[in-house]
């Protein structure tokens, strides 16, 4: 079968998530609300970390990068999905699908690596507090961020060209709300099993490398916390790590379902639900979890609100 007989560069059609629901506009309003909250909360997080000197620490610098990734991550997918529902135009060009595919893989990969490397920061803070400023210097923080972005970029540059070079000769209707790899491969008219196996191994490595760092870091942290004599110090250590572990569990759990669980256990509806969780909900939950469970962030927020209110009173007066 000649690949040239098929239109590789034609438009795709995204079926989305609204067509299968009884109340599409209610779901639209809910996703729009989540999107606005996500963008606003992550921007507020970045501004607070930049403005408040108490938050000028390695942990919050890494958190600001996580917020930046979340803003770009959700903006890659949700605006197109909402616009399609408003206009009724569900087509996405080959170039647009390729760009969305690349950005999604790059940002998701970068977040995987950053979450893994953030556990190293928590390990140093709890297990080697006296050497924290030395082991988490500005140079090391920058190296962590660069490593995360490079790791995500490698994922995007490796998988995107291979995925998009397959001839797509099926109905060209992607049963998803964005150009995700498994949904795209279902449209190919050639055998993609070898590539799927290679991608499976790649995703396992992408998950195992940061997950190994997280496991090693938190094993040492648990041992250190167990040996602490002061209850206050133990509670502070647990509170510091619990937010990070909660986000890691949410993000990694959803990714493992999508890319590690065999396809025989998947259905299109389940895939879309899980993908919606880690592409739409997680970017909103990250800043909320860190702000609601963190006294430094809530303190910085109250201080910023106090400044705004006092300046408003002065202007009014």
- Total H helices, total E strands in the chain: 11, 3
Summarize the confidence of residues 171-193 as an average pLDDT.
85
What helix, strand, coil percent values describe the chain, rounded to 5?
Answer: 80, 5, 20
pLDDT of residue 100: 94
What is the chain's Cα-based Rg? Answer: 22
Contacts of residue 156, Cβ cutoff 8 Å, sequence gap at least 6: 102, 103, 105, 106, 109
* Side-chain-facing half-sphere of 246: CA atoms under 13 Å: 15
CB 189 within 8 A of CB 170: yes
292-304 tens-digit pLDDT: 667 778 888 888 7
Q: The pTM is what?
A: 0.86
Kindly give, in sequence order, each residue whose CB lies less than 8 Å from that of residue 277, ignoring residues fewer than 6 positions away: 250, 254
pLDDT higher than threshold 90 for residue 34 = yes
Q: What per-residue confidence (pLDDT) applies to 144?
A: 93
Write the burial class of residue 94 (CB in 10 Å: 0-12 exposed, 13-18 middle, 19+ buried).
middle
Average pLDDT across the chain, whole number: 82
Long-range contacts of 214-221 (CB under 8 A, 24+ apart): 214/115, 214/116, 214/119, 214/248, 217/119, 217/120, 217/122, 217/123, 218/119, 218/122, 218/123, 218/245, 220/123, 220/127, 221/122, 221/123, 221/126, 221/127
Neighbouring residues of 135: CB distance < 8 A, sequence distance ≥ 6: 124, 128
Token pair recorded at residue 54:
């108490």
pLDDT digits (tens, 9 = 90+) for 85-103: 888 888 899 999 999 999 9
Higher pLDDT: 260 or 153? It is 153
Give me the sign of the Cα torsion angle 225, 230, 231, 235: negative
127-160 burial, b at 16+ Cβ within 10 Å, e below that, comes to: beeeebeeebeeebbeebbeebbebbbbbbeebb
- Rounded average pLDDT over 109-137: 88
Show the beta-strand stretches assigned E in the chain: 12-14, 91-92, 173-174
Question: Which residue has better confidence, 265 or 34?
Answer: 34
pLDDT band at residue 32 under the 50/70/90 scheme: very high
Nearest residue to 269 via CA among 12, 32, 13, 15: 15
Q: What pLDDT score does 235 carry?
A: 72
pLDDT for 297 equals 81
Domains of the chain and CATH, by start: 12-283 (1.20.1070.10)
In this structure, what token pair is assigned to residue 144? 């962590």
Q: Token pair of 128, please?
A: 């080697």
Q: What is the rounded distance in angstroms from the CA atom of residue 267 to the CA atom of residue 115?
A: 28
């Amino acid at each position: 079968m000649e690949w040239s007989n098929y239109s590789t560069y034609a438009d795709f059609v995204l079926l989305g998530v609204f067509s299968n629901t009884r109340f599409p506009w209610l779901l639209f309003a809910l996703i729009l609300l989540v999107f606005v909250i996500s963008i606003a909360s992550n921007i507020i997080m970045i501004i607070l970390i930049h403005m408040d000197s108490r938050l000028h620490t390695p942990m919050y610098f890494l958190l600001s990068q996580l917020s930046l990734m979340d803003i770009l991550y959700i903006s890659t997918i949700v605006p197109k999905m909402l616009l399609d529902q408003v206009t009724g135009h569900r087509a996405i060009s080959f170039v647009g699908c390729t760009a969305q595919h690349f950005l999604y893989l790059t940002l998701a990969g970068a977040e995987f690596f950053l979450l893994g490397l953030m556990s190293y920061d928590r390990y140093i803070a709890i297990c080697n507090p006296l050497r924290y400023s030395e082991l988490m210097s500005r140079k090391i923080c920058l190296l962590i961020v660069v490593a995360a972005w490079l790791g995500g970029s490698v994922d995007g540059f490796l998988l995107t060209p291979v995925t998009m070079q397959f001839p797509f000769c099926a109905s060209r209707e992607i049963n998803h709300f964005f150009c995700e790899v498994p949904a795209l491969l279902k449209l190919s008219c050639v055998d993609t099993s070898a590539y799927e196996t290679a991608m499976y191994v790649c995703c396992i490595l992408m998950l195992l490398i940061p997950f190994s760092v997280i496991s090693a870091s938190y094993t040492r942290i648990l041992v250190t916390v167990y040996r602490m004599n002061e209850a206050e110090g133990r509670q502070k250590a647990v509170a510091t790590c619990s937010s990070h572990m909660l986000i890691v569990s949410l993000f990694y759990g959803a990714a493992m379902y999508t890319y590690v669980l065999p396809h025989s256990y998947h259905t299109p509806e389940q895939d879309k639900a899980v993908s919606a969780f880690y592409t739409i909900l997680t970017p909103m939950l990250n800043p909320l979890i860190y702000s609601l469970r963190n006294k430094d962030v809530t303190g910085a927020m109250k201080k910023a609100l106090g400044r705004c209110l006092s300046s408003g009173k002065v202007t009014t007066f």
